[in-house]
Structure 1
Amino acid sequence: MEVEVEEVANLLFEDEIPEGWNENDDFPNYIIQLASCGVEKLGKESAHLREERNAILDQTKDLAYTNYKTFIHTAECSKTIYNDFTSVESHLEGLSSCLPNLRKSVESFLATSKNLAQSRHLTSLTLTKHTQLLEILELPQLMDTCVRNGYYEEALEIVAYVRRLEKKHTDIPIIVGIVKEVQAGTRLMLSQLLAQLRSPLALPQCLKVIGLLRRLDVFTEPELRLKFLQARDSWFNGILKSIPREDAYQHIIKVVEASRVHLFDIVTQYRAIFSDDDNRFGLGDPEVNEQAIFHGWILHKVNQFIRLVERDLQRGVGSNLEAVLAQCMFFGQSFSRIGADFRNLLIPLFQLSDPPPPLQKAALTQLEKDIRIANIKFDETLSCFSLMEAQQLSSSATLLPETQDKTRPPLSLMEFAPLAHYMNGLVAAFNTLRQCCPVATLSEAMKLIQQSLGKVISALLELHRLESSGFTAREVASFQRMCCVVANDLFPHINKCLRFLYPLQQIALITGIPVNTLQRQNCGQLSSEELLAPIQHLLPEVEEKVLNFDVRETIIEERGSEIDFTQTAQRDIPSDRLEAPAVIQAKAGDADQTTDVTTREPETPNNETSISETPSSTEAPGEDTEAMYTLGPDNEDEQIISVHDERQSSTEELSVKEESVPSSHNPLVPTDSDTHTIS
């Protein structure tokens, strides 16, 4: 229906419907009425509308004419009312702008009045409670006095009272300030208690200090254990730092003693103060393994001790290696009482461990140093050695008695001063190694000796290359003799030293390989073929037919005294006795000057030294004798022979030193023995 009305309206108004007609409710009704009229009525509708319009206009004019005074009065009243409303509006705007300021002033007055009332009330209350407030205000000063004078019990009571005040009056600023000042005194008390733990402290004092720390309630139980161990560890480290470090041996001995005494005291104090039963019965914190704290600290101290020992051993302890090992082992054994036996960690320190140098351990480090010194001495002596001198010494050496120990270094080494000095250096190195000689060092020790012998062979080759063109026939024979002594005397004797240092029985006990098998495999013996290959062409053919000394050494082990190793008539001497070659010395008239005949030029070509077995019971006080080296036996007396040449006479002195070793003595751990001279 609305669509039809709209269509009819569009037909009546070609351009557009006047604005506002569609909103008039009479407009659709009139359109519907027009649509229902006939043609005649539609034609008369325009005239009818004009008549109605004219009638309405006439009525309006009559009404205006009749009531014009009313209309004028109404207009005047409307104007007056409008002016009054405008004035009221302006006054309301002014009042609205003043109201916020008034509100603020009132609120400020109310707040000021409230504060004044509260201040008056507080002032009255303060005056009433003056005595109690004064006591509270003096709590920080009282706390500081108690702490500084050591009245820790009273200080703890103050701390407990202040904590109760803090819980009740957290909103009072002065209480908050008092709490902060008391907490500062608590920190001072805590630092003093921890400082006591960092000082020498007996067990009762430790118990008292830890009890005070527990009452302070600053640390949890695991934290308290850590603080105790840290404080005692700080005190212990201070003791270690106070030990002089100039002498490595004295330092390590004092470190071992201090560690053994003080660490055991700390462990005793810890176990007396802290109990592990709570964790055992499930009463402690399940998330914290309190036992691991103590075990970790023990492990840390053991590692620290191992590092200190390793550092001092690298600095060198000389011939005191056995004493250091004994002290360290005793320390490790004492720690076994608390379940911390670390002796197995000490073993690598006294031998070579991976990785290789510079982390070499004490035994092989000292051996390498001594062997290097022997090589240096050999090179120095070889540089000023004369093959003609070797011939003279050879002729004089034949005068020595032929009843020589099989274990004594061959006297043929004295024909050549470089070889004699070199053998002396090696035996000195073996004597040092013997004090602490684990079987595990065998492989590395053999490598060091092989390298040293290789340098000796290289030095001989270099001597032959440089001077062989000027050799006389006598010097050629002397050089060949020197090479033969190296091959047939020096090498076998070094193998003997290795056999005494590393007995086959001990190797068999550790490895489980039978002794016969180790003998057949030449275990612990140097191979001559590879080392002698560079000088093989310099050896006479007759010497090449001599049995390999590795084979002869095995035969000697099996047959004992049936074979004469040095090919001379010798008396039976126990096979576990070993000495260095005797070095010929010339005694000058001046007691401060001593020279080796093996390293000096003879006064005349025919000046040969005769050696007789004339022992001397004592030596003149001013005479110097060269220190000889002996590789000590297991259960036999040690002998050291030193042959001296008197520059004023041809009489030689044979000095003998004996050491008495108990039958139960371990050859790898030497003991102090008596030394005297036999006439």
Structure 2
Amino acid sequence: MAVDVEDESILASIFKDSFPESWRDNQDFSVYLSELSSFGVDKLSREPERLSEERAQILQQTEELAFCNYQTFIRTADCTQNTYRDFGRVESSVTRMLDKLPGFGERCRSFMKEAEQIGVSRRMNSLTLNRHTEILEILEIPQLMDTCVRNGYYEEALELAAYAKRLEKKHSSLLVIQGIVREVRQSAQLMLNQLLQQLRSNSQLPACLRVIGYLRRMDVFTEAELRVKFLQARGSWLRSILAAVPEDDPYFHITKTIEACRVHLFDIITQYRAIFSDEDPLNEAPVNEAAIFHGWVVQKVAEFLETLERDLQRGVGGRLDSLLGQCMYFGLSFSRVGADFRGQLAPMFQRVAAETFRRAVREAADKFQEDMNRYTLIALPSVLGGAPGNQTGTLQPPMSLLDFQPLACFLNNILTAFNDLRLCCPVGLAQDVASCLQDALNTVTRQILAFHRAEESAFSSREKQLFLLFCSAYAEDLLPFLNRCLQVLFPPAQIAQILGVPPTQLHRFGGLGSIDLVVVLQPLDFLLPQRETQIQDPGPESGGLDPESVQSALRDSEEPEEETRGDEEEEDFSVD
């Protein structure tokens, strides 16, 4: 029977101090209060007595129950105590277990991960075992590449390098592949060095073709760079050949250099043209790749000309004509490849010939001065028993000069210089040779005058007569003979042909290629017998050409093939 809220509040206010607050929630207590409130006065007055009797009855029953079942209560208490103790142990064990559960779970997860990794590794190992042969082949690529390169199997090495490039494209992220590719590149660099070294050796055209083919397949150079590398390598080999030529003897050095350049440089040019195709001719290549070859050939020709000029300056003896012939043949052979350089040889040999002649003439003049310082006028019978005189129409030296030792020695030295010049005698040197010889003769004239001034006061009549004969031989025999020698070296007809004038008009050009005897003998006029006045050549003011202009025309008209004369046009000048 439920209790209304209002009744409950009334009961609570009536018995608020009679029972603990905790009883309020007891259902039985609420039911009892409801029943109690329904009792009448009589029944309510007897309620305490009933409660006392019921209490006593309950206490008696309880005592009887306790007496009859005390052992059960004891065992129950023991069980309760044991149960409490066991529950405590269980609680502590559960607490320890709960503390250890997170670590255990973490270790379980770690074990799962390790187990997964082990499983993956096992599957990879199984796959690796199945692909062992293929993997081993890939790992041996660097070693195989190095073996092929060192043994010269370049075809196989190129195939391995191409295979390594494909592997790199597919598996560039794998460290093993990166290491393999790196080692293959090192071997490829070694192969590149070996191929370039082959080009620096004595390789023939088939070998050069193979090497260039390998270099093109390696794809490390552009076409222009490949041409430059080829020319550099072949040029290095040519320099090694030229460097091996002994330099002690200039003539031997330059002849061997000419031979080496003519043979090997021509081979290099042939190899280049067979390997690299240039549609444009060599001398018309504007820019692009053909200009590389043109520049290299020009450089090599310039280096040869520098070597030639250096050796010519060192001196090649009397073999200038032989050297010129070899150089001309060299230039002629190069004309077939469009690199004819013969036009640059003429000025070089002309300078050397002029310098050699000038040095010989200067030495002859110095020797004449020494002879005059030691000369004594002594009356000796003439070797030929006759007086000195002109020997017109012959190139035999005047025998009368043998009576005068300084003049004979001077003529011998000059004739030696003429003989050396005759071997390589460009027509353009006509004026230079004549001017050089005239300067030397002016020096000789001054030496004769100095001898006369120094010895005139001590001359006897016989010595004076001999000195006059000395001067006459110098003026009438030596000088005209030297002029005739100059005409043999530089024929007037040839000079006139070059100048485009008749030979009879050649005298209008200021005595080209001859000695001006009047100028040379003018200081000795007071010692020489009276001669008929010679007709002097008209100068430029008479309508002739300027000698300097004529000399320039002679030099410009020189052709390399006509620089030397045949021996049939000249005689050997000598004085026994």
Q: Give me the whole-angstrom Cα distance separating, in 1, the residues matched to 2:445 and 2:225.
A: 66
**Structure 2 residue aligned with 1:508:** 496
Give the whole-Å Cα distance in 1 for the aligned partners of 2:376 and 2:434: 31
Q: Assess, with a 3 A threshold, how the Cα gap between structure 1 residues 118 and 495 changes in structure 2: closer, same or farther.
A: farther
Give the secondary structure class of the aligned counterpart of 2:145. Answer: helix
Alpha-carbon distance between aligned partners in 2 of 1:188 and 1:395, rounded to the nearest angstrom: 82
Alpha-carbon deviations, 1:77-118, whole Å to 9, x = none?
A: xxxxxxxxxxxxxxxxxxxxxxxxxxxxxxxxx99x999988
1:456 and 2:449 aligned = no
Mean alpha-carbon deviation: is it higher for 473-482 or for 424-433? 473-482
Structure 1 residues 523 and 641, CA gap change in structure 2 (3 angstroms): closer
Give the 5 Å matches for 1:543-554.
Answer: 543=530, 545-548=531-534
C-alpha change, 1:368 and 1:142, in structure 2 (3 Å) is same
Q: 1:633 to 1:364 in 2, by over 3 A?
A: same
Question: Alpha-carbon deviation of 1:404?
Answer: 7.8
Cα distance between partner residues in 1 of 2:122 and 2:434: 97
Name the aligned partner's letter for residue 218 of structure 1: V
Correspondences of 1:122-161 after superposition (within 5 Å): 125=124, 128-129=127-128, 131=132, 132-161=134-163
Alignment pair present for 1:372 and 2:358: no
CA distance in 2, matches of 1:430, 1:115: 106
Q: Give the equivalent residue in structure 2 for 1:326.
A: 325
Q: Partner residue of 1:178? A: 180
| Structure 2 CA distance for partners of 1:363 and 1:120, relative to 1, 3 Å | farther
| Shift in Å, 1:142 | 1.5
Aligned partner letter, 2:221: F
- Amino acid paired to 1:171: S
Question: Corresponding residue for 1:531?
Answer: 520
Q: 1:124 deviation in Å?
A: 5.2
Matched residue, 1:289: 288
Residue 443 of structure 1: CA displacement? 2.3
Q: Identify the range of structure 1 (448-457 vs 165-174) with the bigger mean alpha-carbon deviation.
A: 165-174
Aligned to 2:35: none
Question: In proportion to residue count, which structure has more helix?
Answer: 2
CA contact (8 A) 2:145 2:184 kept: yes
One-letter amino acid matched to 1:376: D
**1:344-355 superposed matches below 5 A:** 344-352=343-351
1:439 is displaced (CA, Å) by 1.0
Q: Spell out the pairing of 1:647-658 with structure 2 (5 A cutoff).
A: none
1:242: Cα distance to partner?
1.5
What RMSD, in angstroms, separates the aligned Cα atoms of the two structures?
3.3
Change (3 A) 1:383 1:637: closer
How far residue 306 of structure 1 moved from its aligned partner, in angstroms, is 1.2
Instruction: Decide whether the 8 Å contact of 1:264 with 1:335 is kept in 2.
Output: yes
C-alpha change, 1:636 and 1:377, in structure 2 (3 Å) is closer
* Per-residue deviation, 1:532: 2.8
Q: Give 1:217's aligned residue.
A: 219
Q: Which whole-Å deviations, capped at 9, do the CAs of 1:39-95 have from their partners, x for residues lacking one?
A: xxxxxxxxxxxxxxxxxxxxxxxxxxxxxxxxxxxxxxxxxxxxxxxxxxxxxxxxx
2:236 aligns to what? Answer: 234
Conserved 8 A contact 1:526-1:550: no
Give the SS at the match of 2:243.
Answer: helix
Provide the C-alpha distance between the structure 2 equivalents of 1:295 and 1:267, rounded to a whole number of angstroms. Answer: 10
Query: Judging changes above 3 Å, is the alpha-carbon distance between structure 1 residues 157 and 118 closer, same or farther for their aligned structure 2 residues?
Result: farther
Give the residue type in structure 2 aligned to 1:634.
E
1:119, distance to aligned residue in structure 2 (A): 9.8
Q: Give the partner amino acid of 2:367.
A: K
5 Å-filtered alignment, 1:404-419, equals 406-419=394-407
- CA spacing shift, 1:126–1:273, aligned 2, 3 Å: farther
Q: Distance in 1 between matches of 2:483 and 2:535?
A: 9
SS at match of 1:351: helix
1:593 maps to none
What TM-score, normalized by structure 2, do the two folds share? 0.69
Tell which deviates more after alignment, 217-226 or 475-484.
Answer: 475-484
Q: Which residue among 456, 478, 488 is the counterpart of 1:468?
A: 456
Alignment: residue pair count: 434
Letter in 2 for 1:386: T
- Aligned-residue offset at 1:638: 6.2
| Higher alpha-carbon Rg | 2
1:476-491 counterparts in 2 under 5 A?
Answer: 476-491=464-479
Using the TM superposition, give the Cα deviation of residue 394 of structure 1 relative to its aligned residue in structure 2, in angstroms.
Answer: 4.8
* Runs of 5+ consecutive residues of structure 2 not aligned to the other structure: 1-108, 538-564
Mapping 1:288-437, distance limit 5 Å? 289-352=288-351, 362-387=352-377, 389=378, 391-394=379-382, 397-398=385-386, 406-437=394-425
In structure 2, the partner of 1:261 is 263
Separation in structure 2 between the aligned mates of residue 443 and residue 527 of structure 1, nearest angstrom: 12
Amino acid across the alignment from 2:497: L
Counterparts in 2 of 1:134 and 1:503: CA distance versus 1, 3 Å: same
In structure 1, C-alpha distance between the alignment counterparts of 2:268 and 2:140, rounded to whole Å: 40
Deviation at 1:165?
2.1
Identity in percent: 47
Shift, 1:408, TM fit: 2.3
**Kept after mapping to 2: 8 A contact 1:248/1:312:** yes
Q: Give the AA of the match of 2:485.
A: C
TM-score by length of 1: 0.59
Find the aligned partners of 1:404 and 1:418 in 2 and give their Cα distance.
23
Is the Cα contact below 8 Å between 1:393 and 1:414 reproduced in 2?
no
- For residues 573 and 407 of structure 2, the distance between their equivalents in structure 1, rounded to whole angstroms, comes to 21
Could you say if the C-alpha distance between residues 349 and 114 of structure 1 is closer, same or farther in structure 2, counting changes exceeding 3 Å?
A: farther
Does the residue aligned with 2:568 lie in a helix, a strand or coil? coil
Cα distance in 2 for partners of 1:641, 1:321 equals 23
- Residue matched to 1:621: none
Structure 1 contact 431–632 (Cα < 8 Å) conserved: no
Separation in 1, partners of 2:248, 2:503: 46
Structure 2 residue matching 1:634: 3-state secondary structure: helix
Moved more, 328-337 or 392-401: 392-401
Q: CA deviation at 1:632?
A: 9.2
In 2 relative to 1, CA 396–267 (structure 1 residues): closer, same or farther, beyond 3 Å? closer
Structure 1 range deviating more: 403-412 or 184-193: 403-412
Once the two structures are superposed, what CA deviation does each residue of 1:629-653 show, in whole Å capped at 9, x if it has no partner? xx997358769674xxxxxxxxxxx
The answer for unaligned runs of 5 or more in structure 1 is 1-109, 281-285, 353-361, 552-630, 643-679
Which residue in the other structure is 2:18 paired with?
none
Q: Which amino acid aligns with 1:303?
A: A
Does 1:165 find its partner at 2:167?
yes
- 1:217 and 1:139 mapped to 2: Cα distance? 20
| 257-266 or 423-432, which deviates more | 257-266
> Partners of 2:414 and 2:575 in 1: how far apart?
16
Asked if structure 2 preserves the Cα contact closer than 8 Å seen for 1:528 and 1:548, the reply is no
Displacement of 1:192: 0.7
String of CA shifts for 1:560-619, please: whole Å, max 9, x gaps: xxxxxxxxxxxxxxxxxxxxxxxxxxxxxxxxxxxxxxxxxxxxxxxxxxxxxxxxxxxx
Instruction: Please give the per-residue CA displacement for 1:6-44, whole angstroms capped at 9, x wherever unaligned.
Output: xxxxxxxxxxxxxxxxxxxxxxxxxxxxxxxxxxxxxxx
- For each residue in 1:351-395, what CA deviation from the matched residue of structure 2 results, as whole angstroms up to 9, or x when unmatched? 12xxxxxxxxx21122123213322332232222111x2x32459
Give the letter for the 2:307 counterpart: L
Q: Distance in 1 between matches of 2:424 and 2:485?
A: 15
Q: Deviations over 1:204-234 (max 9, x none)?
A: 1111111111111111111111111111111
Q: In 2, Cα distance between the equivalents of 1:450 and 1:119?
A: 110
Shift in Å, 1:121: 4.9
State the 1:155 CA deviation: 0.6
